Structure 1
Amino acid sequence: MAIIIKKLSQDYFLILTTVIVCLLAVNHQLSWQTINFPTLFNLTALLVLVSTWSQLGLLDYFAQAILARAKTNRQIVLFLLLTTFFASMVVTNDVTILTLVPLFFLIVRQINLPVARTVTFITVYANLGSAASPFGNPQNLFLLSYYHWPLSHFLPTAVLLLIGLITLPLGLLGLRKEPLPLQARSTLPTNKRALTCLSLGSFAVLTSLLGLTPPLFGLITALILAGALNRKSLTTVDYGVVWLIANFFLIVGALIRLPQLAAFLKWTGQSFWQTFITSVLVSQALSNVPTAALLAPFTPFKVALFLGVSVGGFGSLIASLANLLAYRQVRQQVTRQDARHFLTVFTGWNLVFLVTSIALVWTFRQL
């Protein structure tokens, strides 16, 4: 518990948003009903599950397996980016980030790879891949449900973002092709019984993430797994990010009840471009999941809103939950100076993808 409290006390962004929430509570402007508890349950379950995999040594095993099969450093980066892109379509961008970024850092312990640019592109491709799938992130699932949007109407729009694959060489830019030394194949670090339990439990959590079972079921399953297989994993979970997202929902809920803001949002939802630009800009400050929930009641332009929150995932650090998750893992692994360098690289490339994506949407609308 002391470790968890210490981590939370050093999270200045969490402290800032908590202070804002407290001020809103003093002024009686909060409504706990605005918290999207299913999203928080799913996120917590995911964090606990990945922590359990890590504590059991399975991420180390996968890292060693990748190194044993790859012949060059470029092959490893290419594998990570392609895996990120396609995995995020199926298991969401958050799952992909929480799995592949720790895996990347385990690989970096053994070979030299550019940390800032590689993690940046892993995050970019997680956002791209998730946007290209109706199941790739929470806001897509929310928009499908809110607008009763048939998948047949959704997919042609999402295919636009497959253009991201063309930019794949950018992730390899400047990376010299260097052969890797031969690696010994590692063995599974846990017994078959524990591995079977973990596999079945992970599948149960995944069904919750995909909306097939209640989110609370996935959370309880993850907690039981952690308690039974490795209790230490419960102390390494980043609970701060769950608290942070809850703060975002509370702040958005307070904002939406302001008459002046409600009138402004109703005005912004009167055309495709107003909805699109507003959702891009608001995502930069509130993240794209709360932005989708904030703007949906004020606009019938669902395609514009979908594209806006998808494109809006690029740009700032808090534009997407995946961005935050990636940064928080980087911060745990590197020095403060390297973390600042990561922010510079991350912001620069995200602005490139933000501007390019806006230009692509504009071009598409002109066809």
Structure 2
Amino acid sequence: MATLELRNVNKSYGKGLPDTLKNIELEINDGEFLILVGPSGCGKSTLMNCIAGLESISGGSILVDEADISGMSPKDRDIAMVFQSYALYPTMSVRDNIAFGLKIRKMNAAAIDEEVARVAKLLQIEHLLKRKPGQLSGGQQQRVAMGRALARRPKIYLFDEPLSNLDAKLRVEMRTEMKLMHQRLKTTTVYVTHDQIEAMTLGDKVAVMKDGIIQQFGTPKQIYNDPANRFVASFIGSPPMNFIPVRVKRQADCLQAVLESGQSRCELPLALSDAGLEDRELILGIRPEQIVLASNELTHLPTLRAEVQVVEPTGPDTLVFVNINNTKVCCRLAPDSAPDSGQNLTLQFDSSKVLLFDANTGERLRALRVPQECVA
């Protein structure tokens, strides 16, 4: 396949208008699966269109295998794209849709037949080759659109929210199929989605975007466990991270965040140096699975009593909502330990996983030479 590098890419639609893309820097290796994820309007589809050549960039450069393709027309970039709408030719059969790009490239008939058969077998659509797109389900149309892209054997594949038109069950099934296909083919792929579950499950690398800016670029694990700012922390994760307003106080050489629920109160040790944080209002971030029921095995963790407001069983686990510091907080508990609404629980917090954010800017506050006893 190919490497892909974006160097300081900018996109503007005219003077006086804000830049749609701002100083985009990305690099993916041969065979990697890159996810561009973010809310609607963040610029991810525009960035994909720029890579494909469907839109020109206003500054910077796009390189494939270290060659600058920024000024090339789409047909010369050796890139295949699968659109959200699939963009199949309604009057052509499935076979002819897959073969269309090969005929344009003047491949001989025997080679076309061989390539169509290969792709149809790979996607398990051999029995659909004589049908028209109107006779296919959404999932089948999606496979045909993928097949048309795969048949070209380009250097890079681009997918623009290809699963968004499918129902929930089929979307999960096709997500698995796409992951298996990528593992088999090792194709260099860029995939646009607003679905953070797709981002976490499909990508080797993830770029989280907001307002035309890449907020963070890394592996799914890095972005989930070590988010750069509050936006990334809130966007990645389901259910999302809890954000609790706290005031920081000092106890000996340690900083602590005060948590209160009703008449109960606890001091949560923080992995931060002073850095002017004492008596400052901050936002504490903690994921639902990092708040657990108190147990004899976790006596070192701080505890807080809280009344259950809402219980939401999901099957494999149960989401329990309590009120802490006048904020609704979600806890993810095992279904066999699920309480009833109105019941009081003793909760424990894994302070080693707690994150802190600036209340005004949303930027992450990180550890600086913290005494070991403060986070033990």
Q: TM-score range by the shorter chain?
A: under 0.3
Task: Identify, as 1 or 2, the structure richer in strand.
Answer: 2
TM-score (norm 2): 0.25
Whose RCO is larger (CA < 8 A, sep 6+)? 1
Task: Identify, as 1 or 2, the structure richer in helix.
Answer: 1
TM-score (norm 1): 0.26
Greater CA radius of gyration, 1 or 2?
A: 2
